[in-house]
Amino acid sequence: AAGADLVLIDCPPVLPVADTLALSQFVDGVLFVCVPGQTHADGLRRAGEKLRQVGASLIGVVVNGVGVGQGYGGYGGYGGYGDTNGARPAAEPPRPAEVATSS
């Protein structure tokens, strides 16, 4: 980790597992990962409050599991600019994430 620009630590959910709160005190920031339809706003609020109580810094939220073409939020869809005659490019399948391993 000494030569890395960024180190991500995957931890269990904040509410049911105390280990995550303990680890949060030794990192620069915490990033929530949530899934629409599975993660509830009340749970996010409570988890955020528990992190604040131990002095952790919440740096952001990743919304995972939203497919291409699915609207998320109040707009419901995206408009385009230019002359496409309504044609949309074919969606590329997601590529697996690259994972670094220790040597």
Instruction: Give the residue carrying structure tokens 């915490």.
Output: 30
CB 14 within 8 A of CB 51: yes
Give the strand pairing for 58-63 and 30-34: parallel
| Per-residue model confidence (pLDDT) at position 3 | 83
| Per-residue model confidence (pLDDT) at position 76 | 47
Paired tokens of 49:
């409050």
- pLDDT tens sequence for the chain (103 residues): 678 888 889 999 899 888 999 999 899 999 999 988 888 889 999 999 999 999 999 999 999 888 776 555 554 444 444 445 555 555 666 666 666 655 5
Instruction: Please give the model's pTM, rounded to 2 decimal places.
Output: 0.58
